[in-house]
């Protein structure tokens, strides 16, 4: 990409970003009006899809000089195979994207800006197609069919689902997977894999039902043993990377226990002599569903110190995070520890900031960055509101999971 393009792309995008909801609505209207057959490729509810589209655009624009941008786009292309993305779809998306930007950017949409965005989109689409084609050459399917062999409810909100993919499913402990079911057509949601690879090939998901969440409700209340779901290519950056013999800390809130459980299962098998700490957090004792597993890991890993943290009875759930912060401050030697962190977005941000203040190396605090949900519901309604209180950029990461309640 021409070195002179990034400033022009960013300045144009800054104008469009102020009217993000309008731009994305125009984009989908243009796409489906000119390509009506493509509507069937998208879910009925487009709001989450709209969020992801603009989040991905934000990531590209803010990482134009990043050497890993091509790798990011390749991984995105691999993942988009599950949406049955074709060259025709890539071309149609490009046309509608430029039309939406032209409609939204106003005077900022010059001939130079249009040429810059056309060139940039060509680079993006080519990198994504290359990633998808490499996936095909490697023999990876667009998705894996997996049979439901276990479905265990814990109260009203939590379900542990065991799946057996019908063909080998390669993944690393700590990664996540997108899941689709016929109960919610053309919708994919991400959940962490809760185990290290097993001899029988099964995988486990921990699904917390979210009020009004189509997928989480379908998986917890409607899915049954014997049915089939689809799994995407696994992704995620919360994988083990600590050298043998080096100390580490694991912090998990709610169903953030799932990836941490997988990491500990791997460690118990490969490095039972490790020295480490585990902080397992829940909003109340009844939600501390991982306690029994954590105690078993403590027996298998003698050097693992385990702390369970919940809010006091009838106290606000935020008290659990406050208690965790107190426990972290009472711990020592943070500069020597790698930290593996999993939980809801606000929890991640607060705890990561606290760890940095305690001396932990930010480059060694590992977690999957999560995209915001419902970004269009709280945006400024006018240019004046925007200038007074501009909203933060909503970062996107290919290794991102959907937020969890805890």
* pLDDT tens digits, one per residue of 291-301: 999 999 999 99
Q: Mean pLDDT, to the nearest integer, of 260-280?
A: 95
Q: What is the pLDDT of residue 4?
A: 64
Q: What is the pLDDT of residue 58?
A: 84
Q: What is the pLDDT of residue 405?
A: 33
* pLDDT tens digits, one per residue of 66-83: 888 888 899 888 888 888
Q: Does residue 228 carry a pLDDT above 80?
A: yes
Q: Mean pLDDT, to the nearest integer, of 160-167?
A: 97
Q: Mean pLDDT, to the nearest integer, of 376-381?
A: 40
Phi, psi at residue 10, to the nearest 5°? -70, -40
317: confidence class by pLDDT, cuts 50, 70, 90: low
Q: Structure pTM? A: 0.81
Q: What is the pLDDT of residue 3?
A: 58
Q: Does residue 399 carry a pLDDT above 60?
A: no
Q: Does residue 394 carry a pLDDT above 60?
A: no
DSSP string across 234-290: -B-S----PPTT--EEEEEEGGGHHHHHHHHHHHHHH-TT--EEEEEEESSGGG-TT
Q: Does residue 11 carry a pLDDT above 80?
A: yes
Q: Of 305-314, 328-337, 359-368, give the lowest mean pLDDT range.
A: 305-314
Q: Does residue 55 carry a pLDDT above 90?
A: no
* pLDDT tens digits, one per residue of 97-156: 999 999 999 999 999 999 999 999 999 999 999 999 998 999 889 999 999 999 999 877
d(CA 72, CA 329): 36
Please, how many CA atoms are within 13 Å of residue 369, restricted to the half-sphere of its CB?
A: 8
Q: What is the pLDDT of residue 105?
A: 92
Cα of 277 vs its chain's centroid, Å: 25
Q: Is 215 in contact with 203 (CB distance < 8 Å)?
A: no
- With a pLDDT cut of 90, the percent of the chain lying above it is 59
Work out the mean pLDDT of the chain and round it to a whole number. 86
6: confidence class by pLDDT, cuts 50, 70, 90: confident
d(CA 211, CA 204): 22
Write the CB contacts of 57 (distance below 8 Å, at least 6 apart in sequence). Answer: 13
**225 CB neighbour count, 10 Å cutoff:** 12
Q: What is the pLDDT of residue 369?
A: 65
Q: What is the pLDDT of residue 1?
A: 54
- Structural domains for the chain: 5-137 (1.10.490.10), 144-231 (2.40.30.10), 248-368 (3.40.50.80)
Q: Mean pLDDT, to the nearest integer, of 236-259?
A: 94
Q: What is the pLDDT of residue 72?
A: 87
Look-up: residue for tokens 């941008």?
A: 69
DSSP string across 78-91: HHGGGGT--HHHHH
Phi, psi at residue 207, to the nearest 5°? -110, 120
Q: What is the pLDDT of residue 401?
A: 40
Q: Of 11-25, 196-210, 312-326, 345-359, give the lowest mean pLDDT range.
A: 312-326
Q: Of 49-58, 62-71, 178-187, 320-329, give the lowest mean pLDDT range.
A: 49-58
Q: Does residue 333 carry a pLDDT above 50?
A: yes
Q: Does residue 43 carry a pLDDT above 90?
A: no
Q: Does residue 279 carry a pLDDT above 90?
A: yes
Q: What is the pLDDT of residue 260?
A: 97
- With a pLDDT cut of 70, the percent of the chain lying above it is 88
Decide: helix, strand or coil at residue 48.
helix
Q: Does residue 8 carry a pLDDT above 60?
A: yes
Higher pLDDT, 58 or 331: 331
Decide: helix, strand or coil at residue 141.
coil
């Amino acid at each position: 990409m021409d070195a002179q393009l990034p400033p022009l792309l960013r300045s144009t995008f800054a104008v469009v970003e102020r009217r993000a909801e309008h731009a994305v609505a125009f984009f989908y209207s243009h796409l489906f009006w000119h390509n009506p057959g493509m509507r069937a490729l998208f879910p009925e509810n487009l709001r989450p899809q709209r969020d992801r589209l603009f989040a991905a655009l934000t990531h590209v624009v803010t990482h134009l000089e990043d050497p890993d941008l091509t790798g990011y786009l390749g991984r995105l292309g691999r993942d988009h195979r599950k949406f049955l993305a074709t060259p025709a779809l890539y071309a149609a998306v490009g046309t509608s994207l430029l039309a939406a930007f032209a409609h939204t950017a106003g005077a900022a949409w010059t001939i130079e800006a249009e040429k810059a965005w056309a060139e940039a989109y060509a680079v993006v689409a080519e990198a994504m197609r290359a990633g998808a084609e490499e996936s095909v050459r490697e023999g990876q399917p667009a998705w894996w069919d997996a049979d439901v062999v276990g479905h265990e409810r814990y109260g009203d909100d939590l379900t542990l689902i065991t799946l057996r993919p019908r063909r080998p499913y390669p993944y690393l402990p700590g990664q996540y997977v997108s899941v689709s079911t016929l109960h919610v057509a053309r919708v994919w949601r991400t959940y962490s894999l809760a185990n290290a690879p097993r001899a029988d090939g099964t995988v486990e998901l921990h699904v917390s039902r979210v009020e009004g969440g189509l997928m989480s409700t379908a998986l917890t209340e409607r899915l049954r043993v014997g049915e089939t779901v689809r799994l995407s290519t696994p992704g995620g950056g919360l994988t083990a990377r600590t050298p043998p013999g080096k100390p580490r800390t694991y912090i998990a809130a709610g169903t953030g226990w799932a990836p941490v459980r997988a990491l500990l299962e791997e460690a118990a098998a490969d490095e039972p002599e490790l020295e480490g700490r585990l902080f397992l957090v829940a909003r109340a004792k009844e939600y501390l569903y991982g306690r029994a597993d954590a105690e078993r890991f403590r027996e298998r890993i003698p050097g693992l110190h385990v702390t369970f943290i919940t809010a006091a009875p009838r106290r606000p759930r935020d008290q659990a995070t406050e208690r965790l912060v107190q426990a972290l401050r009472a711990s020592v030697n943070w500069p020597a520890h790698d930290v593996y962190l999993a939980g809801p977005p606000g929890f991640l941000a607060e705890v990561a900031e606290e760890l940095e203040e305690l001396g932990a190396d930010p480059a060694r605090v590992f977690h999957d960055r999560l995209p915001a949900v419902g970004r269009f519901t709280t945006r400024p309604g006018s240019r004046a509101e925007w200038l007074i209180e501009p909203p933060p950029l909503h970062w996107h990461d290919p290794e991102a999971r959907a937020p969890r309640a805890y």
